[in-house]
Each structure stands twice: as C-alpha cells, then as structure tokens.
C-alpha cells in the first residue's frame, strides 16, 4: 500500500468493524453507512469522546454517529443554535458585545451587552435573521490560535467579555479554540453540527436580565432564551407543551385555588391558606397512614440545635453557608437544614439489641436552608420546607430487604397519584468517606434489591453522597416532565460519627448501618408537583373542597344546609354557596375552583328529598338520594381513585 492508502479499522456502534482509508472524516463514514444517517447526524463519538463530524480518523478507533435523539447530539445542535443567535444579533446590532451562550436542558441561551432592549418585536427580527443564517448553510469550521493571537482577534472585534475569558486560560499555554461560520468567529470548544442548515426548527422564547458570570457585582446583561429541534413538528409539540405547562403553573393555580401565597415579607417562606392547609393535612394524613402500615414510628426533633452537634455531623464545616445561625446564651446555634443529626440523638437515647432492628423512624421535620433569591421558585425552591424524612437503622444483612421495603412503599405512594418513575443508582464520588469495600458492598446491594424486584435502573457514576451510595427516583408527570422527589441513601458514616451501637446475637457491640429516605421529598415541593400534574383538579380524596351544594333560590337554603350537615357527618369536606347569585354563575364559579362534585337543590329536590348531581369532567348525572350519592363518593375517596 502507498502511504496515502493506509487503511484503518473502525468499530461501529453495533460491534461491526469496517475498513476505511486513514484521514476519512466521521461525516464521510456516516454517508457511507446511509444517507438517512448522514442527514440526521449531529456529531460523532470517537473512542468515547464527542467530536465534530468533520474530525478525521487517522488510526483504528471506535465510532458512533450521534443524532438529535442522542443527548450529546441534541446538546451540539442547540449549542450551534446559540451561535446562530449570536451571529444574528451581531448582524442586526454590530455594537453588541458577546458574553456566553451555552446549550442547556430543553434549549439554549446567549448573554449580550447591548443598549437595545430585547422586546418581543426585536426577538422577532432576530429570529428572522437567524432563519436567513440557517438557509445560508454556513459550515462551522474549527480553528485554534495561540493565546496572544486569540486576545488580539477578540480585541480587534471589540469583545471584552471574550478577552476576559481567554486571559483566564492563557496562563495554561494551551491553544484557544474558535469556530467560524461565515463572517462570524466565536470563542468555543465545541463540538457543533456540520453547518447551520441542520438547525431546521427553532424559537426564541424569552429575554431576561442576567449578571455577567452570575455575580451581582458585575454588569447586568440581556439573556435571550430559545430552543431548537431538527423537525418543525417536534418544535410545535414542545411549544404546545410549554403553553400547557404555563396553564398548570402551580404559582398561578395556587393563587386561583387559594392554596398558598408568596409574599415579599417572606421571600422563600410560603404562606399556606385554608384550602392549602386542607390539602397539606390530607396529604400528611395519608403519609402517616402508609408509614404506620409499613412499620414506622414517628418522632419530632428540635428545629434549632447547638454548634457542637453540627460540628459532629459535619454540617458546620461543609454546609454552614446554607444554614441560618444565631447565638443563645453565648453559644452558637443553627436552625436545622436537615433532620438526620436529631434522629441520631434519638437513637442514642436508649440501648438497642439486634432484636430491635430494623428500627424505622419517620419525621415530618421543618428545615431551613439559605437559597439565593434568584434561585427561589414557587414551592419548588424555597428556604423552609417540611421534609418527610425517615431514618432506618439496621444490620448489614438486613440492608437488601429494607431497601425493597422502601421501594414497595414508594410504589404504593406514587401510584396513588398516577406518577411513574425511573430509578437512578448514584455511585461513590471522588470525595467520599469510608472503605471502598464497604461502598462496593452497599452499591451492589442497592442494585441487587431493585433488580430482584424486576425494576430497571440507570447508573449515575460518582454522584453518590460523600457518606454512601443512593437510589434517586425521578417521577414523570402527566406532561412527561421529570421531578426528583424520592431518594434512598445508604449511610455508613453518621453511625460512626455518632458512635451508634447495638448488641448483636453474640453479645458484642456492633455498628448499625443507616438509610436516609424521603418519599415525597418535601411536602411543599410535592404539592407544587401534583398541582401541576393534575392541573388543579385534585382527586376527590385530596380536593380541599370535595362537594359544593348550590341552592337555586334563597328558599332552598335550609334544605341545602340539611344536606350539608348529613355529608359533613359522613366525613366529606362540603360547603354551601348561599350567595344571591344565579345558578349558572354559581356553577361556573365551582368549575373554576375545580370542585369535584356540585349538588344542585331546587323545588323538586326539596320535595323528593334528593340532590341533582354534577360531576367534574362529566357534567349532569341526574337526581340521586343523598345516601346513594354518598355511597359512591365514599368509595372513590376510600380507593383514592383518580378522575
């Protein structure tokens, strides 16, 4: 063979091996495999590393062609969309200064320093210019410069933010990576799709203010958010889902349904209103009922404990910036950010035998954590919340059965709300405590427990807590969005730090192992999740007001109150609308408040001793005796039926 004809072996994703001439690009390989794959290709993965499709293959290697269906392919296409956005802004507003523009979950953004306010009309003009750039099919070509050359280029282009970024890395002596598309040069490590035409469907969604590098001491920039897809249909479906999500926004519904309030006097500290408290207490009643059946005892530990405890637990050294502290009688105290150390103290209050284990202690503990004001978001990110904690103390050989027991509890609770989940196993991080052999045993036990239950899981390498591996439960709601709520964390370290013991069958002292576990995660956050999941109409058992009785005229009030008293005695949450309004208005009001049942009473109902039943989502069900109606409704409450 001539030198130019050196052949290399390329191992493809399906395990097959093909020979190509050295120097062939990943894009050319994709083309040889089929035009469909070539047209869909976004980036490649060469020997496990994500690279541009223009990357030449010069030696034997493994190769995957990644499309938009692959996370890395999706990321690359949306990163390219951010470059197209920046190029469009520079074309329209040459004096704009560029900051950064990464891909993010579900889209991308770019930060600009520009005098023009990015109003919706301006975003429309930018979108139109982006479409021109896509149509131009500009190739994205990577090149590298020495640090001093890179600084010179960005200074010539009057890009001070880019110069700042380059100077931070220039001390390493490495070359600086750029991408060029037409007249536009961007500081970037990549990778990107081959050309701008691959970004076939995109939308700029909003504009907000953002400090340079997230620091309030720096200049305020304008951040444009957008999203991008390879197909127009996918973009339209996503935008429709976003609009549906806006309708379901728990902050909006929380206000409309009288559940909670978020006030300037207490940022991050939600106020629960009467309907919200009814919902919250019903949820907690269910939590207590389930945990009693699964063998838990309930405890309550103080909200504030002294510094010595938090030093012992490790929080004072590693978590203090997130804790609220004070001084009492010349001693430092902290409001608890989590319940665990208090649970340790409860365990230590009395001696334990192996016969006591497993010991399952649940706690609905109000915890406080300092969150930055910009991170606060309704009930999803707050500064105080009620964690539905449980700490299970057990022997090492009880570990697998206890994990299964917790997963069964999770199954029951999540199914009640119509929520499915994906399990993620998070393994040992680099910064960890304890012996590797203990970590390996604990991690394999987690995997074995869920596998034996017939459940799948994915691995999240290195994302365990410093004290032990964990299972995270990512819930999927009715819009297909995921929420991380439940978690099962194995802990081999806190029992050591607090010198927990039990007497074994051999009469010797042993160290228990512990599970930290939450099922709802946070009562407040879970209320936000299910509010959006159900879009406001809660199941009958959970609805703050289950039945609204609507008298047609004032003369029907006495009968309405009599029916109300009967249903109240049966345990229903029921109200009478006694306002002097037309019945049509009362019905619309009850519908707006998502009331499951409306019972209309007029002359005929009074005469017959019946009620006229209207069911949410189904309309008029006709006349019924109070007892017959109540029997069916009570069955729905008991079964926690979703409708």
Q: Is 398 a catalytic residue?
A: no
For 579, phi and psi rounded to 5 degrees? -65, 150
Handedness of CA 159, 164, 170, 172 (dihedral sign): negative
Exposed / middle / buried, residue 471 (Cβ in 10 Å: 0-12, 13-18, 19+): buried
Of residues 87, 181, 222, 387, which has the active-site annotation? 387
Given 42, 188, 207, 340, which residue is catalytic? 340
Q: Which of 336, 369, 381, 447 is catalytic?
A: 369
CB atoms within 10 A of CB 95: 10
Q: How many CB atoms lie within 10 A of CB 66?
A: 26
Q: Which two tokens stand for residue 122?
A: 């301006």
Distance of alpha carbon 346 from alpha carbon 392, whole angstroms? 12
Query: How far is residue 209's CA from residue 223's CA, in Å, rounded to a whole number?
Result: 6
Pick the catalytic residue from 391, 517, 548, 556.
Answer: 391
Catalytic, 389? Answer yes
- Catalytic option among 79, 97, 383, 470: 470
Catalytic residue among 203, 516, 525, 586: 516
Q: What is the DSSP string of 392-428?
A: EEE-GGGHHHHHHHHHHHHHHHHHHTT-EEEEEEE--
Sequence-ordered list of residues with C-beta below 8 angstroms from that of 421, at least 6 positions apart, any chain: 410, 414, 473, 474, 475, 476, 486
Rounded-to-5 percentages of helix, strand, coil across the chain: 40, 30, 30
Catalytic residue, candidates 111, 389, 477, 491: 389
Tell me whether residue 582 is one of the annotated catalytic residues.
Answer: no
Is the previous residue joined to 103 through a cis bond, with omega within 30 degrees of 0? no
- Catalytic (active site) residue 370: no
Active site includes 369?
Answer: yes
In 3D space, the residue among 419, 418, 632 whose CA is nearest the CA of residue 546 turns out to be 632
Active site residue 387: yes
Residue 455 DSSP one-character state: -
Find, among 160, 171, 149, 276, the residue nearest to 218 by Cα.
160
Cite the active site residues. Answer: 340, 369, 387, 389, 391, 470, 516
């Amino acid at each position: 063979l001539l030198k130019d004809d050196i052949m290399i072996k390329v191992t493809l994703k399906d395990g097959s091996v093909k020979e190509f001439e050295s120097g062939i690009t990943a894009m050319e390989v994709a083309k040889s495999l089929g035009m469909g794959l070539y047209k869909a290709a976004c980036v490649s993965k060469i020997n496990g590393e994500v690279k541009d499709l223009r990357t030449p293959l010069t030696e034997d290697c493994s190769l995957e062609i990644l499309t938009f269906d692959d996370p890395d392919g999706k990321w690359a296409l949306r990163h390219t969309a951010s470059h197209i956005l920046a190029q469009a802004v520079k074309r329209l507003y040459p004096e704009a200064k560029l900051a950064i523009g990464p891909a993010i979950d579900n889209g991308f953004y770019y930060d600009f320093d520009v005098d023009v306010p990015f109003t919706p009309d301006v975003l429309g003009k930018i979108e139109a210019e982006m479409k021109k750039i896509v149509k131009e099919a500009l190739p994205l070509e990577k090149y590298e410069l020495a640090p001093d050359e890179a600084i010179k280029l960005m200074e010539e282009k009057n890009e001070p933010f880019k110069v700042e970024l380059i100077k931070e890395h220039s001390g390493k002596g490495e070359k600086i990576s750029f991408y060029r598309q037409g007249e536009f040069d961007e500081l970037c490590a990549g990778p990107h799709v081959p050309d701008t035409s691959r970004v076939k469907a995109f939308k700029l969604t909003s504009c907000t203010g953002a400090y340079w590098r997230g620091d309030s001491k720096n200049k305020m920039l304008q951040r444009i958010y957008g999203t991008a897809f390879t197909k127009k249909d996918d973009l339209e479906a996503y935008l429709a889902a976003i609009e549906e999500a806006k309708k379901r926004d728990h902050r909006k519904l929380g206000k409309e349904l009288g559940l909670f309030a978020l006030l300037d006097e207490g940022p991050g500290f939600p106020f629960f209103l009467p309907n919200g408290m009814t919902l919250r207490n019903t949820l907690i009643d269910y939590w207590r009922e389930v945990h009693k059946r699964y063998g838990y005892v309930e405890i309550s530990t103080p909200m504030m404990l002294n510094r010595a405890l938090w030093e012992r637990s490790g929080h004072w050294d590693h978590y203090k910036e997130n804790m609220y502290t004070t001084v009492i009688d010349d001693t430092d105290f902290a409001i608890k950010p989590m319940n665990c150390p208090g649970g340790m103290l409860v365990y230590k209050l009395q001696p334990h035998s192996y016969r006591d284990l497993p010991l399952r202690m649940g706690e609905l503990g109000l915890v406080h954590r300092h969150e930055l004001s910009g991170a606060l978001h309704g009930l999803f990110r707050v500064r105080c919340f009620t964690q539905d904690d449980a700490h299970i103390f057990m022997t090492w050989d009880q570990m697998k059965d206890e994990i299964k027991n917790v997963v069964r509890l999770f199954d029951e609770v999540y199914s009640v709300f119509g929520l499915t989940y994906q399990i993620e196993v998070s393994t040992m991080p680099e910064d960890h405590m304890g012996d590797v052999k203990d970590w390996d045993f604990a991690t394999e036990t987690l995997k074995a427990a869920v596998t034996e239950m017939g459940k799948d899981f994915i691995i999240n390498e290195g994302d365990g807590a410093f004290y032990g591996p964990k299972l995270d439960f990512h819930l999927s709601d009715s819009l297909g969005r995921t929420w991380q709520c439940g978690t099962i964390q194995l802990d081999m370290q806190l029992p050591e730090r607090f010198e927990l013991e039990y007497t074994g069958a051999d009469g010797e002292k042993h160290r228990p192992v512990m599970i930290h576990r939450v099922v709802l995660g946070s009562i407040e956050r879970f209320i936000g999740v299910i509010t959006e999941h159900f879009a406001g109409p809660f199941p009958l058992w959970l609805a703050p007001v289950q039945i609204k009785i609507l008298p047609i005229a004032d003369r029907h009030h006495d009968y309405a109150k009599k029916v109300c008293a009967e249903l109240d005695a049966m345990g229903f949450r029921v109200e009478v609308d006694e306002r002097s309004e037309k019945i049509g208005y009362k019905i619309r009001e009850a519908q707006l408040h998502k009331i499951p049942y409306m019972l209309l009473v007029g002359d005929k109902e009074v005469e017959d001793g019946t009620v006229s039943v209207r069911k949410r989502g189904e309309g008029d069900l006709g006349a019924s005796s109070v007892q017959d109606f109540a029997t069916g409704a009570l069955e729905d409450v008991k079964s926690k039926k979703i409708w």
